[in-house]
Structure 1
Amino acid sequence: MASTADIKNGVVLSIDGQLWSVIEFQHVKPGKGGAFVRTKLKNVVSGKVVDRTYNAGAKIEIENVDRRDFSYLYADGDGYVFMDTSDYDQITVPGTVVGDAANFMLENQAVTIALNNGNPLYVELPASVVLEITYTEPGLQGDRSTGGTKPATVQTGYEIQVPLFLETGTRVKVDTRDGSYLGRVND
């Protein structure tokens, strides 16, 4: 068991059976009364953010979370197979853990997976990826003005909104956090 003196940014705590990452912390020593630690915690799985206050010296449970680089290999039923780039071990991560990241993963893409006692917690992608548009309606002449968008399906099967002038076969940069179009990629 650790105490509140061990709290630092990035440390993962186990609270009521759930894992919470410390985003911010502040040791407070008021003029009157006992010292305390004010923290802002983010749930590792759901992403929910909460504020929590601990009395100074309170016992807390720190968990070991190992973030390692993996390469995405292929989808296998309801799971996704990744290979550890350091020792070439393969792991299968359930679709529920991968979540929306599956919309932006291509074979052999580098990802970071957070592991706790060998169990995958979440998959982290780069901030943006380059994907090819596999289908979109053709733009009409005169639709080249700014501001207009249309749906386009990328090679992973995910649908994004792109400007009207883009055509099937165009490679685009996509933000992995919200699926927004960032720009065209010229080869």
Structure 2
Amino acid sequence: MATSNDIKNGSVLNIDGNLWTVIDFQHVKPGKGGAFVRTKMKNVLSGKVVDKTFNAGAKVTLEVVDRRDMQYLYNDGSGYVFMDPNTFDQVTISPEIMGDATDFLLENEKASIGSHNGNPIFLELPASVVLEVTYTEPGLQGDRSSGGTKPATLETGREIQVPLFLEQGTKVKVNTESGDYLGRVND
């Protein structure tokens, strides 16, 4: 059994039967009182983020999670099929685990999949992806100073807000966590 002193970013803890990934941690040694570890953790299944404090030396259960970079192949109707490019092993991920990731994932894109005891438990996308705008209203010529936005539909079906001057067929960089437009991509 590990102690709170063993907590690092990316560690996976088992707390009351739930798996939590440590996003951020800080060892604190105040002038008075005992030391403690302040953490920000994300529930692996629900995505809920909480702050939790552990006393120094408190017992924690660290879980082993296998993270592998895999390539998205296709949706077979019941799940999303990924392949390990090194071993060619295929894994099917359920729509519940995928969540909003389907809005940013194209065939042959890479993603990191975490497995616990052989079962996929989470999927991590790159921080940003490049997608093509498949539909948007025509741009307004000369209206670049107002900084306005308009809706645009991406090739995955996700709708985001883009600047007024963008046109259909333009490739854009999108933040996978928030779904925000980050910029135009020139081929």
Within 5 Å, give how 1:65-144 maps onto structure 2.
Answer: 65-144=65-144
Distance 1:113 1:72 in 2: 11
Indicate the SS of the match to 1:96: helix
Q: Deviations over 1:74-98 (max 9, x none)?
A: 1122421111122111111111111
Distance 1:12 1:5 in 2: 14
Residue in 2 aligned with 1:12?
A: 12
Structure 1: any 5+ residue segments left out of the alignment?
none
Distance 2:142 2:8 in 1: 56
Indicate the SS of the match to 2:82: strand
Residues matched between the structures, number: 184
Structure 1 or 2, whichever has the larger Rg, is: 1
TM-score (norm 2): 0.87
Residue in 2 aligned with 1:37?
A: 36
Residue in 1 aligned with 2:182?
A: 182
CA contact (8 A) 2:7 2:25 kept: no
CA contact (8 A) 1:9 1:25 kept: no
| TM-align CA RMSD | 2.1
TM-score (norm 1): 0.87
One-letter amino acid matched to 2:17: G
Indicate the SS of the match to 2:68: strand
CA contact (8 A) 1:7 1:25 kept: no
CA contact (8 A) 2:5 2:37 kept: no
